[in-house]
Amino acid sequence: MLQDFQETLREVIQAIGPITLVIVILQIAVLKTPPYLFLQSLIGIGMAALGIAFFLLGVRIGLLPMGEAIGGELPNRGSVLFIVVSAFIFGFVAAVAEPGVHVLITLIDAAAPNNGTAGPLVLIIGFCVGFLVAMAMLRIVFGVPIEYLFAAGYGSIILLSFFTPPELLPIAFDAGGVSAGLLTIPVILALGVGFSSVLGGRSSLSESFGLIGLASMGPIIGVMLAGVLLQ
């Protein structure tokens, strides 16, 4: 496991290294922030690198195998309702726990303190991701072409964008972006791969993937709908 962690940490350092280099160059050439603040930033980057490495290792050895195992077991239950409810719960919990979602909430609170949107926004994102994951599972079960769902989803987004309050429109799209993050992607993908792998006569590529794209539409539509209904 130590070797796996070292490999994961190396990947994380390679990913955030260029960003760190840019920060250092900007600090020297342009920003010239106080040394203590710059040092604090570097320490924070180091802590983030370690945290992400531990997180990714946990995903690889825990969440991915668990998601595939659960996804592979769902069809054996013989109940479409059980599949839908299980997929919804997985999507909801993963989205509510997604770090990117909480970063977005924190920034919204910082920009508009005491606006009271933090709690409802998290629940809207979680509910909509769970709903779209459940719909994606139904699509696999009944063999519905994925382009139909994308067409309906993005058609709804385009239509709702004309009626959504301007201050909520960018938040809606950001909510869709952050909902597909470090936690939701491996959990939902593993669930889809495990689920489609036990269904005979299905293409593993066309059926296993696309869940993240579908799920990320949910928060966009949900936040837009909330804005239209509450304005």
Q: Is the pLDDT of residue 175 over 80?
A: yes
Q: Is the pLDDT of residue 118 over 90?
A: no
Domain boundaries along the sequence of the chain: 1-69, 78-230
- For 38-76, the pLDDT digits (tens) are 899 999 999 999 999 998 899 888 888 888 888 888 888
- For residue 189, with 0-12 CB atoms within 10 Å meaning exposed, 13-18 middle and 19 or more buried, which class applies? buried
Reported as a pLDDT band with limits 50, 70 and 90, residue 147 is very high
Q: How far apart are CA 64 and CA 207, in angstroms?
A: 17
Reported as a pLDDT band with limits 50, 70 and 90, residue 200 is low
Average pLDDT over residues 152-175: 94
Q: Do residues 231 and 165 lie in contact, with contact meaning Cβ atoms separated by under 8 Å?
A: yes
Percent of the chain with pLDDT over 90: 51
Q: How far apart are CA 38 and CA 27, in angstroms?
A: 8
Report pLDDT for 226: 92
Report pLDDT for 76: 80
Alpha helices by DSSP H, listed for the chain, are: 2-26, 35-58, 64-73, 80-97, 99-111, 118-142, 146-161, 169-178, 184-197, 204-208, 211-230
Report pLDDT for 62: 87
- For residue 62, with 0-12 CB atoms within 10 Å meaning exposed, 13-18 middle and 19 or more buried, which class applies? exposed
Q: How far apart are CA 188 and CA 103, in angstroms?
A: 20
Report pLDDT for 218: 95
- For 203-223, the pLDDT digits (tens) are 666 777 888 999 999 999 999
* Residue 101 CB neighbours (<10 A): 24
